[in-house]
Structure 1
Amino acid sequence: MSVFIRVCRRAGAVLAAAVVAVPLSVVLAAPADAAAPAACTAPTGPYQRQVERALGLAVDGRQSPADCRAIRAYQAEHGIRPAAGYAGPVTYATLQRGGSGCPTDVGRIACVDLDRQLTWIQDGAKRIYGPVAIRSGRAGFETRIGLFKVYYRAQNHVSTLYDVPMPYSQFFDGGIAFHAIDGAISSPPGSHGCVNMRPADAKAYWDLLHTGDEVYVSGHRPGTSGTSGT
């Protein structure tokens, strides 16, 4: 028995020495590309020149890898999704956004800019979500402007007037609500007054807003007259 124990101990010592002998660099090594950022490959956008000018880039209207990286960094910093480096309308509108008049002294508030068909949420002057694209009311069903409050929420609401689903509904002005829609936000002619949103954005608003939070709507949708709220 003692001979067996000595043999086992000797074998264990040899195994331990072999493990210790493995270079530490091998143990800690990670795949060479594990931390490498994804290549920025977004194509030239419709607002390429305007965005290049606003970001202080060389203005030639053609996307370059350096342009793509700079635009992507700006998008990531300002909560624009996806932050892919594409010079699209939301990125350009964000660069030009100033002067919406959205209050900064009421805590959490959802801001709706009908002129640029954008919305975002801010706490004081700090933006915490967006801006993201919306579709507001068409001519004859304009989304009213003014300061409102979320007064009713229904995650799986169905319109009793139009018999259509309105996921993540948050009502702030009579029958007017933020809610998700299927299909393209930009599709004409517009809503019946509601602020239509992409599903992911409507869900984010559902998670961030609560009953009693304020909503500020300004401007007017191009092609409509616009109406005032209370």
Structure 2
Amino acid sequence: MREGMKRTFSALLVCASLLAAAGPSAVAVAPPSAPWQVTGLVPGRPQEPGRAAAVSPGAPRPHLEYVPRSGAVRGLREPACSRTTGPYQRQAERYLGREVDGRQSQGDCRAIRRFQQAHRIAPATGFAGPVTGATVRLMRARKDPNRAGHCPDTAERTACVDLDRQLMWVQQDGRVILDPVTIRSGAPTMETRTGAYRIYLRHRRHISNLYHTAMPYAQFFDRGEALHGVYEDIYSGPGSHGCVNLTMTDARRVWEVLRKGDVVYVWGRKPSV
């Protein structure tokens, strides 16, 4: 009991900002460690000083893939097609209709590269890294996201948060009313809590009092944990402090679909890589 109380208190400290009248809110700030440090991958296109500032806040940014250090691309030159087999090679082969042998070939590389270009994954080298793998999962889920039946099918509007696949969608009366989108849930030791909740507070332009961090389109559902948008790449870093992060575009769409009192159902466990 005491250990459980300590864990709950710690979670509140890292994912809450106190509101004067309405209750706690949350913040999603990535800790300094990151998944690619475990897998040995690095950002595929190192950020150049001053380059990020040149991109306007509303402009679509490519999703940065993580690759072996030898495969990182500098500058804006056209990257070479990777000969290296990525950790999500088989998933990419299966989705793209290639022979599923888990070995990179020139044909595989060209097909994966076209997929990366279509989904704004850079650098598009054909290396099936974690961002490519996450995008394949998203596309595969589009046809029937609740095929496994994990999310309750009821007459109530329900935000289904699948930590296993790092996806979220909204359904009601057996019908998907918001197609699956990619999420970023809590980092290790700060995992997003599972269970059934209801949205108790919505704040379009929330600022965390604790971390002074913007949490646009925040919809709080459990002791400070919220669905909300982030300005950085949704695939960067190991995760939030417990909140469910969305791209700005997706956070706006989710805001327009959900209302106070709607159900948020969370299950699964975030993959370690």
Structure 2-normalised TM-score?
Answer: 0.52
More divergent stretch after superposition (98-107 vs 193-202): 98-107
Distance 1:223 1:90, change over 3 A: closer
Match of 1:138 among 187, 190, 198: 187
Report if aligned partners of 2:229, 2:245 keep a CA contact under 8 Å in 1. Answer: yes
Distance 1:114 1:154, change over 3 A: same
Report if aligned partners of 2:92, 2:133 keep a CA contact under 8 Å in 1. Answer: no
1:92 aligned partner: 136
The 2-side partners of 1:50 and 1:140 are apart by: 28
Distance 1:170 1:92, change over 3 A: same
Task: Give the paired residue count.
Answer: 167
1:215 aligned partner: 264
The 2-side partners of 1:100 and 1:192 are apart by: 27
Deviations 1:73-112, CA, capped at 9 Å, x for gaps: xxxxxxxx88xxx993345324365425101113321111
Distance 1:222 1:159, change over 3 A: same
Q: Which runs of 5+ in 2 are unaligned?
A: 1-80, 121-125
Over the matched positions of the two proteins, sequence identity in percent amounts to: 43
Q: What is the CA distance between 1:140 and its match in structure 2?
A: 2.5
1:107 aligned partner: 156
The 2-side partners of 1:178 and 1:58 are apart by: 36
**What are the residue-to-residue correspondences of 1:42-57 with 2, within 5 Å?**
49-51=90-92, 53=94, 57=97
Distance 1:175 1:108, change over 3 A: same
Partner of 2:99: helix, strand, or coil?
A: coil
**Structure showing greater relative contact order (alpha-carbon pairs closer than 8 Å, 6 or more residues apart):** 2
1:152 aligned partner: 201
Q: Which runs of 5+ in 1 are unaligned?
A: 1-42, 73-80, 225-230
The 2-side partners of 1:123 and 1:63 are apart by: 40
Report if aligned partners of 1:135, 1:197 keep a CA contact under 8 Å in 2. Answer: yes
Write the letter of the residue equivalent to 1:59.
E
Report if aligned partners of 1:150, 1:212 keep a CA contact under 8 Å in 2. Answer: yes
Match of 2:99 among 51, 59, 67: 59
1:178 aligned partner: 227
Report if aligned partners of 2:91, 2:133 keep a CA contact under 8 Å in 1. Answer: no
The 2-side partners of 1:176 and 1:212 are apart by: 15
Report if aligned partners of 1:159, 1:166 keep a CA contact under 8 Å in 2. Answer: yes
1:123 aligned partner: 172
The 2-side partners of 1:153 and 1:134 are apart by: 18
Distance 1:100 1:183, change over 3 A: farther
Q: What is the CA distance between 1:211 and its match in structure 2?
A: 0.6
The 2-side partners of 1:206 and 1:222 are apart by: 26
Write the letter of the residue equivalent to 1:176.
E
Larger Rg: 1 or 2? 1
The 1-side partners of 2:217 and 2:261 are apart by: 16
More divergent stretch after superposition (204-213 vs 129-138): 129-138
Structure 1-normalised TM-score?
Answer: 0.61
Write the letter of the residue equivalent to 1:116.
R
